[in-house]
Every structure is written in C-alpha cells, then in structure tokens.
Amino acid sequence: MSEPRVEPRTTIHLLDGFGLDHDRTRVHVLPGARKLLALLALRETPVSRAVVAAVLWPEATARRAAACLRSTLWRLAVPGAPLVETADDTLRLGAGVEVDFRHACRLADSVAVAGRVPDARAVALLNADLLPGWDHPWLSAEQEWWREARLRALEVLGERFRCAGDRHRAHQAAQAAVRSDPLRESAHRTLVELHLAEGNPAQALRQYTAYRVRLRSELGLEPSPEIHRLVRPLLEKR
C-alpha cells in the first residue's frame, strides 16, 4: 500500500523580513516580486490588477504599470505551487500558500480571549516587526497597526503569565514590549512588579530609574504616580 502523498508546503514570511520557503527550501525572489507577494499576503480578499499595478508602480503610466505587473507575474513560478491565482481580472495569493503574518494576527486576536493557552511561539511572533526596513506608502498603515496590536497582545500575555505564576514567560513578554517601545510605561510597570514579586528590589529600582531617565531625556516627562507608588518605599530608604 502506497504512502499518502505529502504536498509541498509554501510559506511567505513577512515578520522580521521577507522570505519565501517552498518545501523547506528558501527561494530567491526578485525585489519587484517580493512587493507583489507581500501586498497580496496582506490582503485576505482578491485585489484587482489595476489596483495592484497602481499601488506597486505609482510613478508609471497605467499601461507601463500593467506591463510591469505582467512581467512580475511571469517570473513568479514555483513548481507545483501557484503563488498567485487570477480570476475575473483580480489577483490573490494561492490557496495553499501560508503567511506567517496571518498566523501572528490570529494569535494576537486569540490572546484577548480569557482562558486561551498561548501558542508556544507566542512571544517570538509578537516580538517581530512587519517587514522592517520597507518604506512604502501602501505598507506604513499596516506596519503601525501591527506594532500597536502586538504591543497590546504582549502586555496582555505578560499580565496573564504573571497572574498564573509563570514569571519567566511574563518577563519575556514584558521585555519584548519594552524593546519594541522603550517609553511604554505599562510594560515597564509590569517588569517592576515582577522584580518586586521575586524579591529583587534593586532590579526593580534600576528598571524604574532607567525608564524615568529615558522619559525625561526624550519627552521631558515624569513617570506616572502609579508606577512611582511601586518604588516609593525603595526610594524613601535611600
């Protein structure tokens, strides 16, 4: 009896940089094709050819942009796995193509559901930027939305882990949020609380002081009374 045939797996990576893997092998993709795949990977529904051409080649004439799109589509060929499907003058990502960003978005949404057990890679996925270094008008809104969404999810994760007594993963989530946004007080507050709960007052005070110095230096502001109250007993002993 023959073994069931395993279909090749194709994955587009948008987190921490663009990548295309087919059957566990990294595939080289030309810059123009990368932008096309990234644009379609960010859309859950079909996009018209005219819109894709205008978005990706905004400085070209409509005819020239359409020609660039046709050329790019011709170059996108992976054996046994259609990367782009066409229908009724629209384009969409192939049905069998996976996208890491879509998985990360579902994860960020699921974090808000009480009682859900986070994915083992939750913190790593939520710590990743969307196509860092890419500076395109059609992408900037998605990048900013993802930054805020993942920071909120990391904070929820940190609090959930802390309440569950999993201080190690709570630290990971809060530190990831701080690295992404060094001026985000709620993440610093979580770290201060964790250090205090673990009996590390010196580390808690260092965390607070580093945040206070940076906040003053960059924005000329003071930490909120809420985070100050956490370390007030330590400051009074100095």
d(CA 237, CA 111): 39
pLDDT band at 137 (very low <50, low <70, confident <90, very high): very high
- Least confident span in 3-12, 43-52, 172-181, 205-214: 3-12
Q: How confident is the model at residue 211 (pLDDT cuts 50, 70, 90)?
A: very high
Mean pLDDT of all residues in the chain? 89
| Position 124 confidence tier, pLDDT thresholds 50, 70, 90 | confident
- Res. 222 pLDDT band, cuts 50 70 90: very high
Q: What is the pLDDT of residue 79?
A: 63
pLDDT at 76: 84
Q: In this predicted structure, what is the pLDDT of residue 132?
A: 96
- Segment 51-79 shows an average pLDDT of 91
Tell me which fold the domain 10-98 belongs to: Arc Repressor Mutant, subunit A (1.10.10)
Is the pLDDT score of 120 beyond 80? no
Close Cβ partners of 211 (under 8 Å, ≥ 6 residues apart): 182, 183, 185, 188, 223, 227
Query: Which pLDDT score is estimated for 169?
Result: 87
- pLDDT given for residue 160 in this prediction: 83
pLDDT band at 235 (very low <50, low <70, confident <90, very high): confident
Domain borders along the chain are 10-98, 182-238
pLDDT range class, residue 115, cuts 50, 70, 90: low
d(C-alpha 12, C-alpha 99), whole Å: 5
